[in-house]
Chain A
Amino acid sequence: MNIVIVGHVDHGKSTVIGRLLADTDSLPQGKLEQVREMCRRNSKPFEYAFLLDALKDERSQGITIDAARCFFKTAKRDYLIIDAPGHIEFLKNMITGASRAEAALLVIDANEGVRENSRRHGYMLKMLGIKQVAVLVNKMDLADYSEEVFKSIEAEYRGFLEEIGIRAKSFIPVSAMQGDNIAAQSSDMTWYKGRTVLEELDAFDEKESEADSLPFRMPVQDVYRFTGSGDDRRIIAGTVESGRLKIGDECVFYPSGKHTHVATFEHFGAGETPTEIKTDMAAGFTMTEQIYIRRGEICCLSGEKTPKVGTSFVASLFWLGISPMVKEKNYLLKIGAAKVPCQLKEIISTLDASTLDRGKKDKIDRHDVAECIIECSKPIAFDLTSEMPKTSRFVLVDEYEISGGGIITAEVEKTGISDVARDLAMRRNEKWETSSIPSELRAKRFGQRPGIVIITGHRYIGKKAMAKELERELWDAGRQVYFLGIGNLLYGVAGEIKVEGEIPDRYEHIRRLGEVANIMMDSGMLLLVTCAEFTANDMEVLEATVDTEHIHTVWLGDKVTTDVVPDLAISDASDRDATAVRIKSFMAERGLIFI
């Protein structure tokens, strides 16, 4: 079992660890004597912390600079104890250490009482999701083993923990230096009838067993296909966060909403191939219907509670970055295996984690905790921390560094222009009848991959004539290609919203174009579409309905006059033959047509 020890600097964490190691007979032979001898020679009083320093080869500044590891064991089980530093600058090391732990010991000095980091660390344990906490009131020998001192610290700190939603398993009065209530009952504190530290450790629960009974969640880490090595399996790989999945189960992927069934679980090496996967397993499975899925989606089990999908959410987050988190700056958000650009949209409140004082600032400083709204540039699938904590957790990357972490507490009402399109597309995918002919087979027969080429640019530059010529040339070269005139759409599929002479609902038209295009992509076609002055917003709506990798934009004309970033810009499109050659080679480069 992994245990983290946290607490304010100099409250005696290292001494507690040293004492635990010594009293459980976990030290290398002669080490204790060696350190005692060293102290004697240097005329220093012996401290267990020196022992720890000697073990960890720590020589710097006398403070632990990282979450180092020590092993010890009791009759019941093995422990890995992670020493998290108390120095304020090293909060990120404390988080690193604590996130690996299943339970925590929080140390408070009986004489100094509850301090800034006693509270901050308590709050971080809550954010990190560590529920099993025992509080050690240390250095009781220096407080005359006073029950009164102990009771007053217990009352104060218990109140704090309850405010943030942690119920401490116990408060234990100890002297790590003297060995009181660590491995053996103290004879100086007969008023204390509770467990010793070792007994308390053994009483902790091994693992959160509830994860298996929660809905199935597996972030897709990758989709493997090693055809180069003669292996035709397409394997969805990932580590299960919660729940169970069996062969034959229908799984749904979010945010796309695509679905398929589990054909086989895959396995290499000793042991049996599993017939079911569950929490914490690094797994892989093949599908019965071949669908196109990428890293970043979350695999769920059909019929169970679905995750939320959206671009915005409310979160509690802690910031570790040296530069503060500010609005209108791009960050990367990593949740599960997804990684999307995001921005800080609104700070609802900031919280001083050491006092619980709420404030309102326009930035989130280092070591602040804040409630805020984050907006991503692409939709993500997530859960709420109150329902499924593991899949509600994300980190934020500033420049190249992980600079913050957060938990999602609520959804935000969807108002974006592409939100409706995306929700509809997701529902459509959930019901989509997957073709019995895999897309690879179509691609092989047609010598092409499906794609929609948007030919855009200034009005009157000859986009339609260009598209028709391109269609003819591709057709003559044996391609399955279709030029979709926008009129074909306006009066039919969008007939009931069409108003003569104008397009009042441009985005709804693009959504419908996207839905038609989506069907044609599934049939393996190359689709040519013209559109005057295509914008980034148009693109967003289209991307909400058609897989992004199918969309390719070509701008004709000397200057790109909208905010779209075209994949290909042809400034001089006057020579139609030359332009057709350029677009065709662009399509070959992008793997749309095979030569």
Chain B
Amino acid sequence: MSESRRTYDKAAYEAHLVELENKSVYLLREAYANFKELCMLWSIGKDSTVMLWLARKAFYGHVPFPLVHVDTHYKIPEMIEYRDRLAREWRIDMIYGENKAALDAKETFPDGRLSHIECCRKLKTEALTHTLAGDWPRYRMNHDTGRYEVDSNTEPYTGVIVGVRADEEGSRSKERYFSPRDKNNDWGVGDQPPEFWGQYKTDFAPGTHVRIHPLLDWTELDIWEYIRRESIPVVSLYFDQGSGRRYRSLGCAPCTTPVESTAKNLDDIIEELRTGKFSNIAERSGREQDKEDGGGLEELRKDGYM
């Protein structure tokens, strides 16, 4: 359920953003202080880009851990160009992983062999799990050449920062800020650690890892308001370039459809969310994996999907 704010008190909203920012910065610093093998997942979308910006905020211009992107090789091309440009400009320790076997064998939805959900499971969940575990190759950007090389570090990541928001859909509203995953990447929804007084689960058994969610309290509107406030660069796909269509949520090209919208800039997008046509329509309505039966995303998430 998204928060609709029919009235707009500018000072109150600024205070709200400051509060969200302070909380996220605190969480990022806790993650950095407690996890030696720490990484941040970067989907290239607006949420994880805001999270990346918050990391630069927390560490005063630096990003002291690698950013990991799961490349399905079906992403919209602008996304990859944008990823590598920002990685170079901001001197980010950029890593990507992939499911090479599935891609080589054409075990994908676009190849007609799998359903949406099965394809997500192969190209995203499996690729992510093995990239985090370090048992499939990780490709790391060499800032001298600008090219990706196989990373020699194969240590499993024990802390993984993920940009999910509680308001996105049902299963994410039950998340903790620090959420443990067991050896099989399973998420025990019914039995989660208590979180209070700014203390989180930072101790974990060998073989398990912890997902950290600094954006849990943010809404879609908060994200856009913050992008505007901080002038954070986002992929141009979010804006209507003249076709009367734009992307509201980014994913793989075959499974993500643009929405009808003439929002050409941040002000337009925010206006659209606040009072316009999207104020009552779910953000992920253009994403296929949410639509399949059996609580598609919650099932995927239990297996380790973001």
Interface positions of A (Cβ within 8 A of B): 26, 28-29, 55-60, 65-66, 68-71, 73, 77-78, 92-93, 95-96, 98-99, 128, 221-222, 224, 226, 229, 231, 233, 235, 237-239, 266-270, 280-282, 284, 295, 320, 332, 334, 337, 393-395, 397, 399-402, 405
- Distance in angstroms from A540 CB to nearest chain B CB is 25
Q: Are B29 and A401 in contact (CB under 8 A)?
A: no
Q: Are A71 and B1 in contact (CB under 8 A)?
A: yes
Q: Are A395 and B196 in contact (CB under 8 A)?
A: yes
Residues of B within 8 A of A95 (CB): 194, 196
Q: Are B193 and A401 in contact (CB under 8 A)?
A: yes
Q: Are A282 and B22 in contact (CB under 8 A)?
A: yes
List the one stretch of B51-59, B110-118, B145-153, B251-259 in contact with chain A: B51-59
Q: Are B197 and A405 in contact (CB under 8 A)?
A: yes
The reply to whether the CB of B176 lies closer than 8 angstroms to some CB of chain A is yes
Known A269-B56, A280-B22, A282-B22; contact A231-B61, beta-carbon cutoff 8 A:
yes
Q: Are A332 and B203 in contact (CB under 8 A)?
A: yes
Cα distance A71–B53 in the bound complex, in angstroms: 26
Q: Are B26 and A282 in contact (CB under 8 A)?
A: yes
Cα distance A55–B167 in the bound complex, in angstroms: 11
Q: Are B64 and A226 in contact (CB under 8 A)?
A: yes
Determine which of B53, B198, B280 lies in contact with A29 in the assembled complex, contact meaning CB atoms within 8 Å.
Answer: B280
Cα distance A23–B23 in the bound complex, in angstroms: 31
Cα distance A338–B5 in the bound complex, in angstroms: 39
Residues of B within 8 A of A77 (CB): 12
Q: Are B194 and A96 in contact (CB under 8 A)?
A: yes
Cα distance A134–B56 in the bound complex, in angstroms: 41
Cα distance A98–B59 in the bound complex, in angstroms: 30
Cα distance A78–B280 in the bound complex, in angstroms: 17
Q: Mark B93-114, 1 if CB is under 8 A from A, else 0.
A: 0000000000000000000000
Cα distance A488–B19 in the bound complex, in angstroms: 58
Q: Are A237 and B56 in contact (CB under 8 A)?
A: no
Determine which of B19, B22, B56, B204 lies in contact with A268 in the assembled complex, contact meaning CB atoms within 8 Å.
Answer: B56
Cα distance A332–B62 in the bound complex, in angstroms: 31
Q: Are A269 and B230 in contact (CB under 8 A)?
A: yes
Closest A residue to B25 by beta carbon equals A282
- Distance in angstroms from B154 CB to nearest chain A CB is 22
Q: Are B22 and A281 in contact (CB under 8 A)?
A: yes
Known A57-B169, A69-B173, A282-B25; contact A96-B195, beta-carbon cutoff 8 A:
yes
Q: Mark B2-22, 1 if CB is under 8 A from A, else 0.
A: 111110000010000001011
- Distance in angstroms from A558 CB to nearest chain B CB is 33
Q: Are A224 and B192 in contact (CB under 8 A)?
A: no
Q: Are A96 and B176 in contact (CB under 8 A)?
A: yes
The reply to whether the CB of B70 lies closer than 8 angstroms to some CB of chain A is no
Closest B residue to A339 by beta carbon equals B202
24 CB contacts below 8 A, A to B, read A26-B4, A28-B1, A57-B295, A57-B298, A66-B192, A70-B1, A71-B3, A73-B5, A96-B176, A96-B194, A99-B197, A221-B30, A222-B29, A226-B62, A231-B62, A235-B60, A237-B58, A239-B198, A268-B56, A268-B57, A281-B22, A334-B199, A337-B33, A402-B193
Q: Are B203 and A280 in contact (CB under 8 A)?
A: no
- Distance in angstroms from B164 CB to nearest chain A CB is 14
The reply to whether the CB of B36 lies closer than 8 angstroms to some CB of chain A is no
Q: Are B59 and A224 in contact (CB under 8 A)?
A: yes
Known A221-B30, A226-B59; contact A96-B53, beta-carbon cutoff 8 A:
no
Cα distance A238–B1 in the bound complex, in angstroms: 33
Q: Are A222 and B57 in contact (CB under 8 A)?
A: no
- Distance in angstroms from B27 CB to nearest chain A CB is 9
Cα distance A282–B18 in the bound complex, in angstroms: 10
Closest A residue to B297 by beta carbon equals A57
Residues of B within 8 A of A238 (CB): 29
Residues of A within 8 A of B199 (CB): 334, 395, 402, 405
Q: Are B170 and A56 in contact (CB under 8 A)?
A: yes
Closest B residue to A395 by beta carbon equals B199
Q: Are B197 and A393 in contact (CB under 8 A)?
A: yes
| Interface of chain B residues 217 through 258 with chain A (CB within 8 A) | 229-231
Residues of B within 8 A of A222 (CB): 29, 32-33
- Distance in angstroms from B178 CB to nearest chain A CB is 10
Residues of A within 8 A of B204 (CB): 400
- Distance in angstroms from A590 CB to nearest chain B CB is 19
Cα distance A78–B9 in the bound complex, in angstroms: 11
Cα distance A284–B166 in the bound complex, in angstroms: 28
Cα distance A77–B91 in the bound complex, in angstroms: 42
Closest A residue to B170 by beta carbon equals A57
Residues of B within 8 A of A235 (CB): 60
Q: Are B26 and A405 in contact (CB under 8 A)?
A: no
Q: Are B298 and A397 in contact (CB under 8 A)?
A: no
Determine which of B5, B23, B201 lies in contact with A402 in the assembled complex, contact meaning CB atoms within 8 Å.
Answer: B201
Cα distance A257–B282 in the bound complex, in angstroms: 53
Cα distance A280–B62 in the bound complex, in angstroms: 22
Residues of A within 8 A of B194 (CB): 92-93, 95-96, 320, 402, 405
Cα distance A58–B174 in the bound complex, in angstroms: 10
- Distance in angstroms from A400 CB to nearest chain B CB is 4
- Distance in angstroms from A338 CB to nearest chain B CB is 11
